Amino acid sequence: MRRLLAAALALIGLTACAPPSPTASAGKLVVAGYGGSYQQAFEQAVLPGFEKTCGCEVTYIAGSSTDTVAKLKAQQNAPQIDVALIDDGPQAQAAQLGLLAKLDPKTVTRLDKVEKVARLSGDVGVGFAMTATGLAYNSDWYAKNGLPAPKSLADLADPKLKGKVVLPSISNTYGVGALMLAARAGGGSESAIDPGFAGIKKVAANAFTFDTTADVSNYFLQGQAVASVWGGSRVETLADKNFPIKFVYPAEGAIPLLATANVVNKAPHADLAQKFVNALLEPAIQQKLAAEGYDGPTVSDATLDAALAARVVGSKQAAGMKALDWAAVNGERAAWTDRWTKEVERS
């Protein structure tokens, strides 16, 4: 798939970035982003095409979103990173700290094609890939035990699931999502979180562990877990291993989880950085990112075949999701973490 992606990008030529003039400086772009499969996909399929058409060299630095933001903070007086690929929660924090620059619509010409849910405040960064935080369940186990598919977070509090639920820790984004699903179900919000704690404690009574890694695959594979709050793209990746797992958009509304592309404030190669962000919004790249890891496109003109479209967040699902107010969440997260430890994990 990655070889096919590389070939496709070579054909389209990443038209968002015109080749430099013979007298132009080639430059060296530094991109900090996700590790693992994301890094492999970028290094093998995205970066070579961009380097060829822009006459520049790209260095990719792998790390978690929080690690990348920490680097940006440490380097804010003399930035060494041009583009930061980070989750929407840490991105909001970085934007608030003034670590990110506004996108230039004259260069990032694809902004008007971006779905509303992926447009960020003031166009300081943009969502380039999207999944959903919702419910994951083992369909075989549910059928054998006579349980209907879960429809809302509250269904994970069913006594028949005692010791069979893995909940994400509030230390990762899925944990925040679980808390907010409970809050919304109880009429709460980011600024009225009590219903969230009341609801999540009922589900926590069935949890045998609280995962901090954001990857609960092994719990499902080993039969320890049959239900969780998890991301749609991760569910589909596990399903590819012929595991009977399904994803549910809960009745209280799934929560969008965005991978964002950002130009660093005072980036050494700001113009190249803007062009790189625009390239990530091209339909061909969006389509291949969906095929690689089941991340839904964030642009309206990316088309997927029916089989793939059924497994990613599409325009219809995106329209029904409400993004978190990350500024409010980040302002309360330390207090929520302390409360979660005392009331949820120790209850």
Is residue 9 predicted with pLDDT exceeding 80? Answer: no
Percent of the chain's residues with pLDDT above 90:
76
State which residues form the domain around 9: 2-130+256-316
The CA distance from 55 to 28, in Å, is 9
Mean pLDDT of 66-87: 96
pLDDT at 39: 86
pLDDT at 35: 84
The CA distance from 119 to 111, in Å, is 8
User: Which residue, 198, 196, 228, 197, is CA-closest to 213?
Assistant: 228
User: Which residue, 73, 89, 59, is CA-closest to 265?
Assistant: 73
15 and 117 co-located in one domain: yes
19-54 per-position pLDDT tens digit: 443 333 457 999 999 887 778 878 887 899 899 989
Is residue 14 predicted with pLDDT exceeding 70? Answer: no
Q: CA–CA distance from 132 to each of 55, 247, 283, 312, 344 (Å)?
A: 36, 10, 20, 9, 23
Mean pLDDT over all residues of the chain? 90
Give me the amino acid identity at 9.
L
300 and 338 co-located in one domain: no
pLDDT at 117: 86
81 and 23 co-located in one domain: yes
pTM of the entire predicted model: 0.82
Mean pLDDT of 171-187: 94
pLDDT at 158: 98
149 and 247 co-located in one domain: yes
The region that residue 214 occupies, defined by phi over 0 for left and psi between -120 and 50 for alpha, beta otherwise, is left
218-245 per-position pLDDT tens digit: 999 999 999 999 999 999 999 999 999 9
210 and 245 co-located in one domain: yes
Q: CA–CA distance from 69 to each of 73, 127, 274 (Å)?
A: 6, 16, 19
Is residue 11 predicted with pLDDT exceeding 60? Answer: no
Mean pLDDT of 282-302: 90
Give the least confident one: 82-86, 97-101, 116-120, 153-157. 116-120
Domain with 220 in it: what CATH number?
A: 3.40.190.10
Is residue 81 predicted with pLDDT exceeding 90? Answer: yes
156 and 114 co-located in one domain: no
Mean pLDDT of 242-258: 95
CA–chain centroid gap for 324, Å, is 13
pLDDT at 305: 94
pLDDT at 15: 45
Label residue 272 by pLDDT band (50, 70, 90).
very high
Is residue 206 predicted with pLDDT exceeding 50? Answer: yes
Mean pLDDT of 172-184: 95
Bridge partners, 255 (sequence order): 133
250 and 146 co-located in one domain: yes
25 and 112 co-located in one domain: yes
Is residue 139 predicted with pLDDT exceeding 50? Answer: yes
83 and 112 co-located in one domain: yes
Domain count, the chain: 2
Burial class (CB in 10 A: 0-12, 13-18, 19+), 160: exposed
pLDDT at 76: 96
Is residue 138 predicted with pLDDT exceeding 60? Answer: yes
85 and 161 co-located in one domain: no
Is residue 17 predicted with pLDDT exceeding 80? Answer: no
Mean pLDDT of 187-204: 97
